[in-house]
Structure 1
Amino acid sequence: MMTLENVSLLSLQTSYMRQDPTTVALCAALDEQFRQLGEDVKRVLIYARIGALDDALLDELAWSMHVDGYDAKAGIDEKRRMIKSSLRIHRYKGTVYAVEQVVADVFGEDAEVLEWFDYEGKPYHFKVNVYCKEHGASAADILRAERLILASKNLRSVLERIVLILFSKGTLQVNSAAIISEVTMILPLPQFGGGAVFCGGVISSELVQIEPLQTADK
């Protein structure tokens, strides 16, 4: 299928026109123009290409969309998250969902709002738990989250604190060893005509070393 990216005007001409030098030159010149037009059209699709935009274009897009609490100094991944979720935040502004979403955008982690009746706090106060499983949190991230929360919560509610719940990974090694021993006693044999009595004993021992069965992350 022919598109602007692989357009070939000469292939659309008749066999006679393909032999005309002027037609061949004109098609070659126009092909390049059409292909460039195809590249320019992609740039018009700004919102659909957030993942490919640079910082300058993201800042312009955030300004045009009135993204609350947008920080031009934030990382590019955070900027993209804030722009993508801005429409939902505007729709649910003043709700628990909006607060959880803006905090998740800042830290890139799951966030949970606990209202005062969930933890016996002061009336109309709330706190936010941030589950930092993959990323840490800087002082700048916390200040930015506070600013976004104030812009997204309802006027009545009061932010009490932001709680960072950090997760760490460790390596658990399991080792074991077993020692198996066996003692075999031979009882006296029956005597025949005053013959000798045979008796003896055998002691065998075996040490089994079991290597680590598995290594699990905790």
Structure 2
Amino acid sequence: MNKLKNLQLTQLLPASIAADTTVKNISLSVETILQKVAGQTAAVLLLPHLDELPEAIIDELAWQYHVDTYSADFAVEVKRQLIRQSIAWHHKKGTPAAVTDMLSTIYSSAQLEEFWEYGGEPYHFRVTVGEDRTDYAQIIDDAIRVVKLSKNARSWLDGIKFRRNITGTIYLGSAMSKNKKVELFAHTELATNSLYIGGVIMRNRRQQLPVAGDMGR
């Protein structure tokens, strides 16, 4: 099979005219032109070569393909992904799948939850993001803008929830203690022991004795 880049028309000429000089010259001229066109075809096939195109052309392609969620402030990798998926997104724009797909260009782990999955109000939804970077306010603003442009008019975004898995070692300790409670109450019973009482009877006697002077009289 002859390919356009190495096509040789002279080999395709029927025997009845192959020997004609004028036909040969025309065939050679056409071969040269077709081979030159084949060599430049790669420049026309833009989508297969998105990763090779400079950012200036990427910005122009975003306008050509009507990428609604496009922003010149996006990283060039995000721009390429938006353009690559723009045609498919236009077919399903306004659906949950479109919101998820478009948001995944910013947050690869983004998941959409309908209101009945988390107890929200009808026609509401929210987005859960896993381990993607969230330390730039611009990225969060871009994500909200992408959601608003890709959702349908009657649906409302409740918010973007970021889920983080934290790993680490938790040490637990315990101690045993024993308490003894002693309660003291006043004792009101009367004592029943015996009471011994003793007494002494004393007898006093008064006697007057004469002094010595009185005895010699």
Same-fold call, TM cutoff 0.5: yes
* Aligned AA (2:159): R
1:6 to partner: Cα distance: 8.5
Equivalent residue number for residue 131 of structure 1: 130
Whichever of the two has the greater Rg, that structure is 2
Match of 1:28 in 2: none
* CA deviations over 1:127-186 (Å, ceiling 9, x no partner): 001222xx413211111111111111111111010112245788xxxxxxxxxxxxxxxx
**Could you say what secondary structure the match of 1:40 adopts?**
helix
TM-fit CA distance, 1:37: 5.4
Q: Secondary structure at the match of 2:49?
A: helix
Aligned partners of 1:102 and 1:145 also within 8 Å: no
Superposition map of 1:18-97 within 5 A? 39-97=39-97
CA distance in 1, matches of 2:50, 2:98: 21
| Residues 76 and 119 (structure 1), Cα distance of their counterparts in 2 relative to 1, 3 Å cut | same
Aligned residue runs from structure 1 range 125-164, under 5 A:
125-132=124-131, 135-137=132-134, 138-164=136-162
Report which of the two has the higher share of strand: 1
- For 1:125, the aligned partner's letter is H
Tell me the amino acid that sits aligned with residue 163 of structure 1. Answer: K
SS at 1:86's partner residue?
helix
Q: Aligned residue pairs: how many?
A: 158
Q: Partners of 1:46 and 1:101 in 2: how far apart?
A: 22
TM-score (norm 1): 0.58
How far did residue 110 of structure 1 move?
2.4
Tell me the amino acid that sits aligned with residue 136 of structure 1: R
AA aligned to 2:58 is L
Give the whole-Å Cα distance in 2 for the aligned partners of 1:96 and 1:76.
25
Residues in 1 aligned to 2:82 and 2:120: alpha-carbon distance in whole angstroms: 30
**Quick one: distance in 2 between partners of 1:94 and 1:112?**
16
| Corresponding residue SS for 1:110 | coil
**Amino acid corresponding to residue 141 of structure 2 in structure 1:** L
Query: How far apart, in 1, do the equivalents of 2:166 and 2:76 lie?
Result: 25
Q: Which runs of 5+ in 1 are unaligned?
A: 8-31, 171-218
Residue in 2 aligned with 1:111? 110
TM-score normalised by structure 2 residue count: 0.58
AA aligned opposite 1:94: G
Partner secondary structure for residue 161 of structure 2: strand
Judged with a 3 Å threshold, the aligned counterparts in structure 2 of structure 1 residues 56 and 160 are, in CA distance, closer, same or farther, namely same
- Whichever residue aligns with residue 92 of structure 2, its letter is Y
Query: Matches of 1:33 and 1:169 in 2, distance apart?
Result: 65
Identity of aligned residues (%): 34
